Structure 1
Amino acid sequence: MDNNNIGGMNPQQFSQNTPQTSQPHMGVSGIELQKMQQEAEQRRREQSRRNADFFGRLCIPTIIYALLYTIFLYENTGGILVTLFAIVTGVYSLYCMKILHIEAKPLTIWYSVMMILTGLSSGLTGNKIIQGFNFCWILVFLVFMLLHNFCNDRQWGLIKYIAAAFQAVFGAIGCIAEPFMDIADYMRNERMDSDNMGSDSMVGDSANATAGERHVKKHRMLYVFIGIAIAFPLVVLIVVLLCSADAVFASVIKKIFADINFFTVSKVVFLFVFALFSSYCGIKYLSKKRISDAPVETPAFPAAIGITVAATISVVYVFFCFIQIVYLFGGLMQLPSGYTYARYAREGFFQLLFVCILNVIIVLLGSELFRKNKILNAFLILITLCTYIMIASSTYRMGLYVSEYGLTATRLCVFWALGVIALFMLGVILSICRPAFSLFRYGIIVIGVCYLVLAFARPDYLVARYNTVCMEDTDYKYLMSLSTDASPALAADADFMENKGMVTMYARQLAGETNDSLRQLNVSHIKAAHLFRDSIDEVKSSQLILLYVYSPYDSGSYNNNDTGLDGVDSIQMGYHVLNDTEDNDTAYYDYDSYSMDDTRVAAPVFFKWVDAVEVKKISDSERIFLAKIPRKALKGKDGVNIEYRFNKNGDVIYSSQYNVILDKKKGLNEVELSYYAGTDGVDEPEYNIYGK
């Protein structure tokens, strides 16, 4: 449907610029002026009827889509419902094209499949970054799919596609007021139609009367949907305000909706309104055909300028590539003073990655902005070939760095980016040699497929798998910070699974990440919860307390004398559950709960003792011990009075006492135990516990 104003002029502008008089003006007779006014009014009515028809067709589907959008995506960036969101978005777009009589082009199938696969990967991975990029890619595929169908893009180049995408997005924002204008046009036209049908029924036309009744019933349902869309955010806002105003009303509402709060309601309303307006306004703007089908006319600068720039850059790149081949790949020449071959090979990969990206921009601009010339094309191809050598250099350097320091998600993404650049540059060469080659379609297919490969490969798993298998000194602290995708690799590592303290810490982390509802179901979370089920159940039934033991004067390793932990065989934690402080002000400072004789042998009275398990291989500058208290022993209590017993060189040494306020939501308390080598001139260990 073309919503452009007939005649290329807005009726309102026409009426404003037309003199409101019947007298001849500037050679126009009164009859001609009246005829022009009638034509303008006729165009205005036709435009109003088109707006009303557009609204009548899209109103109910858009409201349904906005509701599904809100249900699928509210607090759900990584659930399996993201796949349904992608499917519903594709179906809604195709439906809009159908009612606007726009035939889907063949590439539409590819865009739709890519959207669905991208949404599917969100439910299979626990990586938040991948899940965030998935939404961006779904939007990219959606915008380009709509542009491909609403516009004639056969002659479009890369720059035109990007410009059209921005024009579509900002044009949709500019249509933010049109839904209200379309509602007004719809109601005005429906009232006129009802009046016409009513007059027909008065003359005894029973068929028209029956049709009029069906017409009224049909549009009565549409009015109900419009009312629901308007009332929903208003009712929610009013309920929140009334809850704040009346405690009794709030308590009743909370019994019905347990987790209702202003922040939650605000997010729900925002999602619904955003989906409602973005979908309607986006389709409305595209239906106006405001985006030109003509390709972007870039300025054709003299080829001599481009040849000069490209030749200069090529000389530098050829010399740099020669150095790479001789020094890096061949190792045949002497390195600068103070450099080892390993140091030379392991630095500079990020800089080279940036240069490779810069080369893509240089070649694209060189082929677009300057007049076609064979010499210029030759230099651009030479820059592209040098880029491949830089890609190989950066890949080789990164490989050496990874073999020395291990693989991380960032380093893995560098490998991926270099591979994508290499494939994209192949398309750049083809576009230089064959001007008719569609670089945009090649690029969107290559980059889109490469992204899906990365998303489905689960980068965190690859990182954890490489480090646990190929590295002698595994950084488990980093691997535990990765998403649940890394859990299968950790579960398969014998050293990690034997470290009970570290497994407990990891299980506590998983307990918070894998507590999904049916709406947020995620395959990666399910797999992680299954692999560490026993540890997670144990964590949920215990109150965890972490003890960080270190020295303020630590020199970097806990195996030196400064930490005061040489010879420490084990640590036990004694705990005494505390009463409510309101009933007993001294409950949190009950220093009579233990006694100690002259030989520093403990004689606890009320304390119960549990073993604190050391979390090994997690840090070189501190030692971490993990103690677990049965949660049932703390039911209804506010805190616990704790002590630590050090078994050192056969002797039992006590630390000072500390009172922990239980964090019922977090489920974990952390305390720090510092050791000072000497205090007040007394050469005797002193341990101090602090809250963290």
Structure 2
Amino acid sequence: MDRYIEKIKEEYPFFAALSLLYGIIFTVSLYENISGITFPICIGITIIFIKIFLKKLGLKLKKDSWIYITGMLLLGISTACTTSYFFIFFNWVGTAILLTVFMLHQFYDDTSWNFGGYLKRIILLGIGMIESTPALYVGGVRYLTRDHTGEDKAKKKNMLIAVLVGIVIAALLLLIIFPVLLSSDAIFAGIFGNVLKHIKIGMVPGYIVLFIAGVHLCYTFFYTASKKNFAETDKEKKKKGNAVIAITFTGIISAIYVLYCIIQIFYLFIGVQKGLPANTTYAEYARGGFWQLLFVSALNFIIVILCLYIFKENKILNIILTIVCSCTFIMIISAAYRMLLYIGVYHLTFLRILVLWSLLVLGLIMCGVVISIYKRNFPMFRYTMVIAFGLYIFLSFSQPDWMISKYNIAHIQAENKKLKFNDIAELTDMWSEDAAPVLADLKSEDLDSEDIDNVKDVLAEYFRGVKKDQSDLNLRNWNLGRYKAKKAVENFQKGTGIF
């Protein structure tokens, strides 16, 4: 622990300069630009800085760190490919989580950590960063005022004063020289004029705040991780819970679950074609019970995990927990089947895709839970990370709004129906502009003739908004989703001549 912190203190100029450089890159990349092409570039540079930082401390990247690096880079690329603020937000959150676990993995032997061990250390690292807030500034003062020989101290002091005086003189002279140079050469003026026109006085405070935040986050994050003040391994706590308690309550619950699942198998999966319950509409039946099943499935996951961590290992308990997991699988399938029935009638929405994705994630995680019942040292946290992040990255790249528009339009056309005002209104009122290319390809013959004027008005209003949002697209904030939306506006203009 001490050797890493002492190294940072001794090499303060190096680590402070590294943080200052990162602050500049952080600011240039992300100021008022949370989803541009510079975001994945910033992530890539962050990884390079981590490698430099670790090398300076005498550490190497662990062989299996590539999985965290790949996840962060994919999240960054996904962010630059969508206009959905839902995915942009969770991509940022996911990147922060992966970065935190990545650094913990680098400094510690985390092979024996369970769910609780990881969560505890992630929280402690966050708290440690707050506690380390003064480290950057205290380190600077300590370095500048530390004891030197009289001659070295005088030289260092004089050099610092000389540099500061030189910076002040240069700034004053540039106030005179720069305007003269701008007026002396048209090419020079054109280059810097294009740069300066994007810099407004009102933006300066924002740049300063973001720069300070970037420098601070870089230094305190590395500093806190280097403390290595978390226990390398968790003390093995002997499970004191009486297994009979767990066997009793899980046995009662599992008996009810088995009865419920038998009903699901014989009625929902096999007998649904025989007719619906009396006074129940198709929509009510398909949607009814979905959220309850999702809740119970998630609750079962928590129950089984707690039983594994609290109660003594017991063969009978293992069998009952396996039954609970098996019933949970049937509940997940039942919930998914109900949702698919509902989608078959009322089409796709983002929320419906999200809940189907959640059920898939929960189902795969429950597979890991079953393995944990019989293999208590199974790396459940890392397994969950791989499943959740892997499927989330897939979802974020799938552009659900684009997929929803494609599916719903094709579904309506397959029924030999024309698109009505309500259909188009739903598609133009989604979470992003990723659907713009699909809507731009619509033709007059796809629309209901009775609603065609209203539909065209809605589309025209939608594409006016898209055009306005993409008006400031440039090299720094370039985003594939925004670029496609901009092209969709151009295609729509050519096709309808509304603008």
Residue 325 of structure 1 corresponds to 265
* Alpha-carbon offset, residue 267 of structure 1: 3.1
Deviations along 1:235-280, one digit per CA (max 9) or x if unpaired, are: xxxxxxxxxxxxxxxxxxxx96666354x44432332222221221
* Alpha-carbon offset, residue 436 of structure 1: 2.4
Q: What is the letter of the counterpart of residue 284 of structure 1?
A: Y
1:293 aligns with 2:246: no
* Alpha-carbon offset, residue 93 of structure 1: 1.7
1:359 aligns with 2:300: yes
Q: Select the residue among 68, 72, 77 that pairs with 2:25.
A: 68
Deviations along 1:179-199, one digit per CA (max 9) or x if unpaired, are: 12111211123x51563588x
1:379 aligns with 2:327: no
1:198-209 maps to which residues of 2 (within 5 A)? Answer: none
Q: What is the letter of the counterpart of residue 505 of structure 1?
A: E
Note closer, same or farther for the CA distance 1:324–1:541 as it changes in structure 2 (3 Å cut): closer
1:152 aligns with 2:92: no
Residue 569 of structure 1 corresponds to none
1:314 aligns with 2:254: yes
Deviations along 1:47-90, one digit per CA (max 9) or x if unpaired, are: 8x655314223111111111111111111122111110110111
Note closer, same or farther for the CA distance 1:501–1:339 as it changes in structure 2 (3 Å cut): closer
Q: Contact between 1:72 and 1:82, CA under 8 Å: does it hold in 2?
A: yes
1:192 aligns with 2:148: yes
Q: 1: CA distance between counterparts of 2:346 and 2:34? A: 32
What's the Cα RMSD here?
Answer: 3.1
Note closer, same or farther for the CA distance 1:222–1:354 as it changes in structure 2 (3 Å cut): farther
Deviations along 1:128-178, one digit per CA (max 9) or x if unpaired, are: 111111111110110000000111212111110111111111111111112
Deviations along 1:652-671, one digit per CA (max 9) or x if unpaired, are: xxxxxxxxxxxxxxxxxxxx
* Alpha-carbon offset, residue 391 of structure 1: 0.9
Q: What is the letter of the counterpart of residue 338 of structure 1?
A: N
Q: 2: CA distance between counterparts of 1:179 and 1:122? A: 31
* Alpha-carbon offset, residue 343 of structure 1: 2.9
1:260 aligns with 2:200: yes
1:58 aligns with 2:6: no
Q: Contact between 1:468 and 1:489, CA under 8 Å: does it hold in 2?
A: no
* Alpha-carbon offset, residue 304 of structure 1: 1.5
Q: 1: CA distance between counterparts of 2:162 and 2:88? A: 36
Q: Contact between 2:23 and 2:214, CA under 8 Å: does it hold in 1?
A: yes
Q: 2: CA distance between counterparts of 1:504 and 1:335? A: 43
Q: What is the letter of the counterpart of residue 109 of structure 1?
A: W
Q: 2: CA distance between counterparts of 1:480 and 1:511? A: 14
Q: 1: CA distance between counterparts of 2:50 and 2:350? A: 35
1:302 aligns with 2:242: yes
Note closer, same or farther for the CA distance 1:162–1:511 as it changes in structure 2 (3 Å cut): same
1:313-462 maps to which residues of 2 (within 5 A)? Answer: 313-331=253-271, 337-340=278-281, 343-462=284-403
Residue 481 of structure 1 corresponds to 429
Which 5+ residue runs of structure 1 have no aligned equivalent?
5-46, 199-212, 232-254, 543-692
Q: Contact between 2:460 and 2:498, CA under 8 Å: does it hold in 1?
A: no
Q: Select the residue among 467, 489, 493 that pairs with 2:442.
A: 493
Q: 2: CA distance between counterparts of 1:278 and 1:532? A: 40
1:279 aligns with 2:228: no
Deviations along 1:348-400, one digit per CA (max 9) or x if unpaired, are: 21222222222211111111111111111111111111111111111111111
Tell me the SS of whatever aligns to 1:78. coil
Residue 2 of structure 1 corresponds to 2
Q: 2: CA distance between counterparts of 1:507 and 1:134? A: 27
Q: 2: CA distance between counterparts of 1:504 and 1:521? A: 24
User: TM-score w.r.t. structure 1 length?
Assistant: 0.61
Which 5+ residue runs of structure 2 have no aligned equivalent?
172-194
Note closer, same or farther for the CA distance 1:193–1:392 as it changes in structure 2 (3 Å cut): farther
Q: What is the letter of the counterpart of residue 383 of structure 2?
A: Y
Tell me the SS of whatever aligns to 2:233. coil
Q: Which has the larger radius of gyration?
A: 1
Q: Contact between 1:301 and 1:371, CA under 8 Å: does it hold in 2?
A: yes
Note closer, same or farther for the CA distance 1:476–1:538 as it changes in structure 2 (3 Å cut): closer
Residue 114 of structure 1 corresponds to 71
Residue 137 of structure 1 corresponds to 94
Tell me the SS of whatever aligns to 1:300. coil
1:676-691 maps to which residues of 2 (within 5 A)? Answer: none
Q: Contact between 1:328 and 1:345, CA under 8 Å: does it hold in 2?
A: no
Tell me the SS of whatever aligns to 1:485. coil
* Alpha-carbon offset, residue 326 of structure 1: 2.2
How many equivalent pairs are there?
455
Q: What is the letter of the counterpart of residue 425 of structure 2?
A: K
Residue 468 of structure 2 corresponds to 512
Q: 1: CA distance between counterparts of 2:292 and 2:200? A: 50
Tell me the SS of whatever aligns to 1:327. helix
Note closer, same or farther for the CA distance 1:90–1:188 as it changes in structure 2 (3 Å cut): same
Q: 1: CA distance between counterparts of 2:22 and 2:493? A: 38
Tell me the SS of whatever aligns to 1:103. coil
* Alpha-carbon offset, residue 508 of structure 1: 0.2
* Alpha-carbon offset, residue 479 of structure 1: 1.0
Note closer, same or farther for the CA distance 1:258–1:284 as it changes in structure 2 (3 Å cut): closer
Residue 553 of structure 1 corresponds to none
Q: Contact between 2:75 and 2:91, CA under 8 Å: does it hold in 1?
A: yes
Tell me the SS of whatever aligns to 1:511. helix
Note closer, same or farther for the CA distance 1:170–1:347 as it changes in structure 2 (3 Å cut): same
User: TM-score w.r.t. structure 2 length?
Assistant: 0.83
Note closer, same or farther for the CA distance 1:222–1:187 as it changes in structure 2 (3 Å cut): farther
Q: 1: CA distance between counterparts of 2:409 and 2:496? A: 24
Residue 181 of structure 2 corresponds to none
Q: What is the letter of the counterpart of residue 2 of structure 2?
A: D
Considering Cα pairs closer than 8 Å and 6+ residues apart, tell me whether 1 or 2 has the greater RCO. Answer: 2
Q: 2: CA distance between counterparts of 1:315 and 1:181? A: 62
